[in-house]
């Protein structure tokens, strides 16, 4: 009876919910009931959780409302508001821009003039405009009208001189970004227009640094002013991002579409007060074509965005290794809501650049559809920092790979022997951590593995709590070097019955229905540290071969 009821329940909560215009509120108003322990004879009252989990037609750029709803988060979070601009505007046409040639100077002249006048809106009208790097200035809104396309040059000289930027978590002097800003306030890129990246096989793309990982190319003790890479004499360059303000405050990126980026798409670095809403990204097939990367930036709202990416979709980063530790700026106070992740390596990812710490992240009311991993956590032994106080609620996922994935070791390609799990290393200033992570109210329609954790022996993943989920996965649960985990009020339908644990301790499955082959849980428990594994009020009540429902040394 339990399995039959759970299957009926899954169909009920998977049914599309009528929006009726109320999607702008923090939660949807329709009521569904998730009872993962249906049919189990419990000694306690089974909890019933009211929640509503969005469907694909309720999220993403096409559903963006005009106004920004109040921000709610499980940590102190400012109520971010759009930057305000003077009621002044002019078109790039008035400054001599023409579609017949590259028009960087005219666009930049319009931005510079508007800044000197005290601010306003620079309009890019409908048409195909060719340009090199554009630098935003304080109090200027660069507005792309519907039908406007900015096509960015593939020639390295159109991005010179080198500017201060951060590339993969390391500070350098290089090409910066197609749309760049440094030390500015009250800036925006808005409208229904489109950014188109440099052509395929152009010099900007072909001259990318590929000799090694960046921390092995740029010594961390070399002054940043001497880390200059601008492509003279056939030297390599670091790829420009699409939009990257650095050291800026009060930023709005709204409504635009981005296609064919050379590198990461939207990347605020060292910024404070960022709103990204209604953005559409397509970088499928582009290596390292991340969608939105929040880099050592605080007080951020991301909402109603649709991302289809060649790498991770929504990503939190905070610097890499020694250089990131030198800077030591966290990414903190970030809310992601009503967003849609399509193709990409990860729906929402923390890392792998984690040096300054990623903390206070709240992702809610979103859908990941045909994405790789759903909730992804990456770091490496020499990356430093880590992530903590990370919260995920009311998320629907249809995935190619794992639902929850921690990859804290990486591969030898990037970190050499440090990717080898054993022996455990001494803890040092670069030893990263992931801790204090909560997830609540999930529908996982398809996944390769429900939970997979590859922690670090000397720094295990610590304190993960998942409540209220209906899961359909091919594999069940795998954890190495993890502790203090609670899986509560969950119904799991899996094609595999094996739970694999290596040096995993204090793991509890509570009020969980396992719908698995043979109706028996099979366990593989190894490692001297594995202990205190408990199945409380579950079906089956205990794994095959266990004398009771607890495993201790």
Note the pLDDT of residue 29.
32
**Residue 38 pLDDT more than 70?**
no
The answer to whether the CB of 441 falls within 8 A of the CB of 466 is: no
Phi, psi of 414 (to 5 degrees): -105, -35
Note the pLDDT of residue 23.
36
Cβ count near 477 (within 10 Å)? 26
Instruction: Round to whole Å and give the CA distance between 346 and 290.
Output: 9
Q: What is the pLDDT of residues 145-173, one digit of tens each?
A: 999 999 999 999 999 999 999 999 999 99
How high is the mean pLDDT of the chain?
Answer: 92
Note the pLDDT of residue 34.
42
Q: What percent of the chain has pLDDT over 70?
A: 91
Phi, psi of 470 (to 5 degrees): -115, 125
Residue 41 burial (C-beta neighbours within 10 Å; 0-12, 13-18, 19+): exposed
Phi, psi of 26 (to 5 degrees): -65, -35
Q: Which residue has the higher pLDDT, 12 or 530?
A: 530
| Cα 381 to chain centroid, rounded | 21
Q: What is the pLDDT of residues 209-220, one digit of tens each?
A: 998 999 999 999
CA atoms within 13 A on the CB side of 80: 28
Task: Read off the pTM.
Answer: 0.92
Instruction: Round to whole Å and give the CA distance between 331 and 271.
Output: 9
Instruction: Round to whole Å and give the CA distance between 154 and 262.
Output: 9
Strand segments (E) across 227-380? 241-246, 249-254, 257-259, 272-277, 280-282, 292-295, 298-303, 306-308, 314-317, 331-337, 340-341, 346-350, 358-371, 373-378
Note the pLDDT of residue 47.
38
**Residue 281 pLDDT more than 50?**
yes
Q: Which residue has the higher pLDDT, 418 or 9?
A: 418
Query: Residue 367 corresponds to which tokens in the numbers above?
Result: 């859908």
Mean pLDDT, rounded, for 435-441:
98
The answer to whether the CB of 243 falls within 8 A of the CB of 269 is: no
Mean pLDDT, rounded, for 237-252:
98
How many residues in total does the chain contain? Answer: 553
Q: What is the pLDDT of residues 451-474, one digit of tens each?
A: 999 999 999 999 999 999 999 999
Q: Kindly write down the DSSP assignment for every residue of 403-416, as one continuous string.
A: SEEEE-S--HHHHG
The answer to whether the CB of 285 falls within 8 A of the CB of 310 is: yes
Note the pLDDT of residue 21.
36
Task: Report in angstroms the alpha-carbon separations of 500 from 405, 514, 531.
Answer: 14, 15, 13
Which secondary structure element, helix H or strand E, spans residue 163, and what is its range? Answer: strand 163-167
Q: Kindly write down the DSSP assignment for every residue of 104-150, as one continuous string.
A: HHHHHHHHHHHHHTT-EEEEE-SEEEEE--EE--TTEEEEE-TTEEE
Domain boundaries, the chain: 2-58, 83-311
pLDDT band at 413 (very low <50, low <70, confident <90, very high): confident
Mean pLDDT, rounded, for 530-534:
98
Q: Among candidates 95, 94, 99, 136, which has minimal Cα distance to 119?
A: 136
Q: 58: helix, coil or strand?
A: helix
Task: Report in angstroms the alpha-carbon separations of 384 from 27, 211, 327, 483.
Answer: 35, 23, 12, 20
Note the pLDDT of residue 552.
83
Q: Among candidates 447, 470, 402, which has minimal Cα distance to 34?
A: 470
Q: 41: helix, coil or strand?
A: coil
Domain 83-311: assigned CATH number: 2.160.20.10
Strand segments (E) across 455-521? 461-494, 498-515
Q: What is the pLDDT of residues 365-404, one digit of tens each?
A: 999 999 999 999 999 999 999 999 999 999 999 999 999 9
Note the pLDDT of residue 9.
41
Q: What is the pLDDT of residues 284-323, one digit of tens each?
A: 999 999 999 999 999 999 999 999 999 999 999 999 999 9
């Amino acid at each position: 009876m339990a399995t039959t009821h759970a299957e009926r329940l899954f169909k009920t909560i998977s049914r599309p919910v009528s929006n009726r215009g109320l999607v702008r509120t923090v939660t949807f108003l329709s009521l569904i009931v998730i009872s993962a322990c249906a049919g189990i004879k419990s000694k306690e009252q089974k909890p019933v959780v009211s929640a509503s989990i969005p469907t694909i037609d309720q999220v993403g750029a096409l559903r963006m409302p005009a106004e920004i709803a109040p921000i709610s988060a499980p940590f102190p979070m400012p109520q971010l508001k759009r930057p305000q601009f003077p009621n002044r505007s002019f078109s790039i046409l008035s400054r001599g821009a023409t579609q017949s040639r590259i028009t960087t100077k005219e666009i930049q002249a319009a931005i510079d003039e508007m800044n000197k006048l005290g601010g306003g809106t620079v309009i890019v009208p409908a048409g195909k405009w060719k340009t090199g790097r554009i630098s935003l200035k304080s109090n200027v809104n660069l507005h792309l009208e519907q039908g406007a396309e900015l096509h960015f040059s593939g020639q390295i000289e159109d991005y010179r001189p080198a500017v201060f930027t951060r590339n993969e978590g390391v500070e350098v002097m290089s090409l910066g970004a197609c749309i760049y800003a440094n030390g500015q306030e009250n800036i925006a890129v808005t409208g229904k227009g489109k950014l188109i990246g440099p052509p395929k096989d152009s010099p900007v793309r072909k001259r990318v640094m590929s000799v090694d990982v960046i921390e092995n190319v740029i010594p961390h003790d070399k002054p940043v002013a001497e880390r200059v890479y601008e492509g003279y004499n056939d030297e390599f360059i670091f790829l420009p991002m699409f939009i990257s303000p650095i050291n800026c405050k009060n930023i709005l990126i709204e409504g635009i579409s981005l296609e064919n980026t050379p590198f990461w798409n939207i990347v605020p670095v060292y910024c404070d007060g960022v709103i990204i809403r209604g953005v559409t990204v397509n970088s499928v097939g582009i290596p390292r074509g991340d969608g939105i990367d929040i880099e050592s930036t605080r007080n951020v709202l991301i909402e109603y965005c649709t991302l289809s990416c060649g790498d991770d979709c929504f990503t939190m980063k905070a610097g890499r290794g020694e250089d990131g530790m030198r800077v030591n700026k966290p990414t903190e106070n970030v809310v992601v809501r009503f967003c849609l992740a399509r193709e990409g390596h990860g729906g929402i990812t923390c890392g792998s650049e984690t040096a300054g710490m990623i903390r206070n992240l709240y992702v809610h009311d979103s859908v990941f559809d045909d994405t790789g991993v759903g909730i992804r956590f990456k770091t490496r032994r020499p990356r430093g920092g880590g992530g903590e106080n990370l919260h995920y609620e009311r998320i629907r996922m249809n995935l190619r790979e794992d639902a929850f994935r921690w990859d804290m070791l990486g591969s030898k390609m990037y970190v050499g022997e440090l990717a080898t799990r054993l022996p455990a290393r001494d803890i040092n200033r670069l030893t990263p951590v992931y801790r204090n992570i909560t997830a609540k109210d999930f529908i996982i329609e398809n996944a390769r593995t429900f939970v997979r954790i590859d922690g670090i022996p000397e720094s295990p993943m610590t304190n993960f709590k998942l409540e209220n989920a209906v899961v359909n996965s091919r594999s069940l649960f795998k954890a190495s070097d993890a502790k203090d985990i609670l899986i509560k009020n969950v119904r799991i339908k899996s094609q595999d019955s094996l739970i694999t644990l290596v040096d995993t301790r204090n793991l509890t499955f509570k009020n969980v229905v396992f719908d698995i082959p043979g109706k028996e849980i099979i366990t593989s428990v190894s490692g001297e540290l594995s202990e205190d594994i408990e199945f409380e009020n579950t079906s089956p009540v205990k794994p095959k071969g266990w004398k009771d429902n607890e495993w201790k040394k």
